[in-house]
Amino acid sequence: MVDLLKMPDTFASEISDCHVHVVGPVDAFPQAEGRGYTAGLATPENLREVAGPTGVKHYVFVQPSFYGTDNSYLLHSLDLLAGRARGVVVLDSAEMGARQLEQLAQRGVCGIRVNLYSKFSPLAPGGLEDILKRYTDKMPRKGWHVEVIAPVETVVDAAPILAGSPIPIVIDHYGLPGDAGPESELGRRLLDLISLGHVWVKLSAPYRIGADPLNTTPPANWLLALLRAAPDRCVWGSDWPFAPSRKSQTDAATAVPYRPIDYRRLLEDFIRALPDATVAERVLQLNPSRLYGFDLAMDVRE
């Protein structure tokens, strides 16, 4: 386990949070009809207030389901953080084109999200295999990735096409293994997939895996198994502002509060669970800089 007091001083100023969501004022940035709930305000300024004091300097904004394919607020937030953030958007594969992707990349977008987990999803019907092919046929081969959030069963069923993807794949939230352990058949199939050189995984949102909806401690068995399978392709994410549980999402008219989770505790519990300081540096700094193109030297200069 990592002792926070023994970490180098430079560590505390170069951390990347690779999975956050931003939510603007409803009147200016309306949420999609058919969503499971109404999300509260969660601005980049709010994020930096809670994350900045912990040493986090870089962020990856991931499009939440309730905005559908309207990425306006995510792009607005990228502009505000100018170089400190990257974006993962949701696009209609039938309408996206090379010029659009080029313009998005200029603003910091580097990934497209495939969401087969949330109650509300703007994607057209189809299995993960079909959806992935529709995107990868049109996406640039350099600097972009597809991010997948789906239950472990869905991910492993699509393992052949994910394994053959011409662009990197990023799998959310430990692969959402549910009750399956790394030693189970599902677990072994997931680890086999993640061991491939183009597949990454986010060590994020531990409360989405076990029974405790407020848990901040990583699942030890999955944490160590994934670090063994992909030591250079694991990144950390907080999942801020901590969306409410799926069972509390009932209808679009209901405003449901975020989970009352302390950001600093979540990050510190994660760091303490890591095997050593070298792994902490890799997961929280070096791996994100390779996947998202963050400039760690910027932190040193500042």
Confidence of residue 13 (pLDDT cuts 50, 70, 90): low
Could you tell me the residue range of the domain that residue 287 belongs to?
4-301
Window from 21-30, 100-109, 152-161, 293-302 with minimum mean pLDDT: 293-302
State the Cα–Cα distance between residues 34 and 210, nearest whole angstrom.
28
Confidence of residue 119 (pLDDT cuts 50, 70, 90): low
Confidence check: pLDDT of 300 > 50: no
State the Cα–Cα distance between residues 293 and 105, nearest whole angstrom.
12
Confidence check: pLDDT of 8 > 90: no
147 φ/ψ angles, rounded to the nearest 5 degrees = -105, 130
For range 245-260, the mean pLDDT: 80
Query: Which CATH number is 240's domain given?
Result: 3.20.20.140
Confidence of residue 298 (pLDDT cuts 50, 70, 90): low
pLDDT at 126: 65
Asked if residues 104 and 83 have their Cβ atoms less than 8 Å apart, the reply is no
State which H helix or E strand residue 114 sits in: strand 109-115
Q: Give pLDDT tens digits for 189-243.
A: 999 999 999 999 999 999 999 889 999 999 999 999 999 999 999 999 999 999 9
Asked if residues 215 and 206 have their Cβ atoms less than 8 Å apart, the reply is yes
Residue 295, token pair as written in the block: 């400039």
Q: What is the dihedral of CA 216, 269, 286, 45, to 10 degrees?
A: 60
Tokens 């170089």 belong to residue:
83
Q: What is the dihedral of CA 184, 174, 41, 105, to 10 degrees?
A: -140
Domain count, the chain: 1
State the Cα–Cα distance between residues 17 and 213, nearest whole angstrom.
20
pLDDT at 301: 45
For range 158-185, the mean pLDDT: 96
Percent of the residues in the chain that have a pLDDT greater than 90, as a whole number = 76
Predicted TM-score (pTM) of the model is 0.93
Window from 23-27, 116-120, 122-126, 181-185 with minimum mean pLDDT: 122-126
Q: What amino acid occupies position 302?
A: E
Q: How many residues does the chain have?
A: 302
Q: Give pLDDT tens digits for 134-147.
A: 999 999 989 999 99
